[in-house]
Amino acid sequence: MQNTTVFIIDAGNSSIKVARFELDQLMEVQRFPSDELSEIKTFIRDNDGQYAVSSVLSKKDTDEIVSTIPDILLLETDAKVNLTINYGTTNTLGMDRLCNAIYAYNRTKSDYAVVVDIGTCIKFDIVHKTDGYIGGSISPGIQLRYNALNDYTGKLPLLSNKTQAELVGTSTNLSIQSGVMNGIGAEINGTMDQYRKRFSSLTFFVTGGDAQNFDILTKNDIFADKNLTLIGLYEIYQQNA
């Protein structure tokens, strides 16, 4: 009998996420440090099931994970998917963006669906029910903006505060926090409004580790799922297993 347990591994630069699926249902998600591959390799050896990996790590580190046990399926952007890809540079299309597109495409009842992924980068990706994946946008996320202000100036400090900020910062730190957090919030809401004006019959899906830091879930055309990318990756696995 085929093993009904499937482990989906999303190996990112900051952490490695492992999602366990039982009978097509997501049961749990665990995280491991990306710089300690011994932990994820021990997990793979100790837990029976079918495995699929998507990785943005170096080829060496990716190969190390894939070689842990036989029959691990490595999923890349040339994997078989159930939608047309209308994108000029498919060789640089991130696997996370493809996973997000698959998730939205498989669920939307609208003509168009947009995934807003708020993490290391802020990504918008749009799909159409017949034209498939169209494209989107990428801009720096919270920490990248803090890093840039520190790296490219002589005196601005490096911050990491991700809480909501007052519009008017009354110190240098608070001014940086206001610029980054309020700037991102305005960017997200403004971009969503532009999508609404341009595309009729539109649904938004929101995900990403930093999505919780922004108040954007106030309209009935927006749905949130923190595990959206992992579920999309599982659905790509199903088409390629």
Q: Based on the residue annotation, tell me whether 117 is a catalytic residue of this protein.
A: no
Contact 228, 207 (CB under 8 A): yes
Q: C-alpha distances in angstroms, 187 versus 8, 115, 136? A: 32, 15, 14
Amino acid at 94: G
φ, ψ dihedrals at 169, nearest 5°: -80, 130
Q: Residue 215 contacts by C-beta under 8 Å, 6 or more apart in sequence?
A: 164, 185
Name the pairing type of β-strands 121-128 and 50-55: unpaired
Q: 3-state class of 129 per DSSP? A: coil
- List the catalytic residue out of 10, 96, 117, 125: 96
Q: 3-state DSSP call for residue 127?
A: strand
Please, what is the end-to-end C-alpha distance for the chain in angstroms? 16
- The torsion angles phi and psi of 6, rounded to 5 degrees, stand at -125, 130
Sign of the CA dihedral running 94, 81, 100, 12 = negative
Residues involved in catalysis = 96
